Every structure is written in C-alpha cells, then in structure tokens.
Amino acid sequence: MHSYNTLIFDLDGTLTDSAPGILNCYRHTLSVMGFDEPDNIMSVLGPPLYDSFAQLCGMNEAQVNEAVRIYRTRYADTGLYENNVYSGIPEMLRQLKNNGKRLLVATSKPEVFAIKILERFRLAEYFDVIGGADINGSRNEKCEVIEYVLDRAGISDRNGILMIGDRYHDINGAKKCGVPCMAVLWGYGSYEELTQHGAEIIANTPQEAADIIINP
C-alpha cells in the first residue's frame, strides 16, 4: 500500500458520534417549520445542511435558508454538545502523530462549530488545521473544504495525502481533489455505500486504521 504522510479527517461519524445533536436539531427545525420528518432521516448524517433540507425535505431556497437558521440556533446552544468521541479515536490520533503523520480536519460542519467540538473533547491539539464550511453557506461542498484545508496547510503536492471519512461525500470529495480515501465503518456509512463509491481502503476500527496507515 502507498505511504501516506498527511491525513485529512472528516469530523461527524469519523472522530465523533454527533448523531444525537444533528437529529435533534433536524427534528426541532422540521417541527418549527411544520414539515413532516422524512422516512430516511438518518440520511441527513453527512451531507451539507443545505443539501439535506432541499433534497430530503423538499424545501425551496427560502425555506432552506430559514431551516438552516433555526437548526444552527439550536445547534449552537445545545446540539453542539450532544456529541461523543468514538472509542479509540484519541489513541489512534496519538499513534499517528507519534509516527510523524500530519493531521488535518475537513468537515462540512461550519468551522466555528468544528473547532469548539474538537477543543471541548481535547482533540484539537492533534491537528495542524481544522477547516470547515463557511457559516454563510459558501465553501459548502466537501471538495471545496478539502481544497481550503490543503491551501491553509500550504500543501500543493497531492502525493502522500489520504482523506479519512465515513460517507460517500467524503469519498467523492476526495476524488474530485485527486486524493484517495480511507472509509471507516464505525461511522454512519454502510459497507455497501462505501465500496459502491470507490473507497480505496476500508477500516473497521480506529486501531485498524492506525495500523494500516503506519504499516502500509
């Protein structure tokens, strides 16, 4: 296997289990706006907010903007903290860092929230750059966030870079940026989803991910 020296991590479903906060905020938003909960509400875990409200809930542009506002109001106060670090993540990050790997974060979550979460769980210290979506809705797609993070890190050569995430958005975003992706099965994506979208590597646990990267 190729040797990877720069690792770009997704946040939700990869470093932390943020499902309770995300789902509670979606349900709150739909209730306030008078929309029914979609049958496949678990599909909101991963994609950008704007896409989920438009595609899963059938909202128009004005409704999407209002939904995002309501969602983020609750998320900033409460949903942000309805979150837990996956077992084995701190140990994985420590091993990778101790083996000379450079660690970055690229998430579709607004950057201000991503930083607060990683600082709260004492994971921020492992990352050179924590990058996310812009709060005003720009830099929303995963490939845009990855490019933004690479630029902030001063990286132009794509050799030795690996994206690590749990949903097809991570895989597709990485491909658009010319970067391979390790898909992880402890998050929200199924094995079928991840293989169908062409993940180059699949890891079952954080320890397995560390072993694969450190001993290619």
**pLDDT tens by residue, 14-44:** 999 999 999 999 999 999 999 998 888 888 8
pLDDT at residue 42, rounded to an integer: 85
| Mean pLDDT on 152-176 | 96
Residue 139's pLDDT band (cuts 50, 70, 90): confident
The closest of 20, 2, 12 to 164, measured between CA atoms, is 12
The closest of 38, 153, 166, 183 to 108, measured between CA atoms, is 166
How many CB atoms neighbour CB 204 within 10 A? Answer: 11
Cβ(18)–Cβ(11) under 8 Å? yes
Catalytic residues, by residue number, are 10
pLDDT at residue 1, rounded to an integer: 64
Cβ(172)–Cβ(165) under 8 Å? no
Cβ(191)–Cβ(212) under 8 Å? no
pLDDT beyond 90 at 184: yes
d(CA 161, CA 138): 24
Residue 204's pLDDT band (cuts 50, 70, 90): very high
pLDDT tens for each residue of 58-80: 899 999 999 999 999 999 989 99
- Please state, in angstroms and as integers, the Cα–Cα distance from residue 56 to each residue in 65, 117, 203, following that order: 15, 26, 29
d(CA 111, CA 105): 10
Q: Give me the sheet containing 6-9, strands edge to edge.
A: 129-133, 102-110, 6-9, 161-165, 181-184, 201-203
With a pLDDT cut of 70, the percent of the chain lying above it is 99
Grouping H, G, I as helix, E, B as strand and the rest as coil, residue 54 is helix
Least trusted range by pLDDT, from 70-84, 132-146, 153-167 = 132-146
| Mean pLDDT on 142-168 | 96
Domains of the chain: 6-17+84-214 (3.40.50.1000), 19-81 (1.10.150.240)
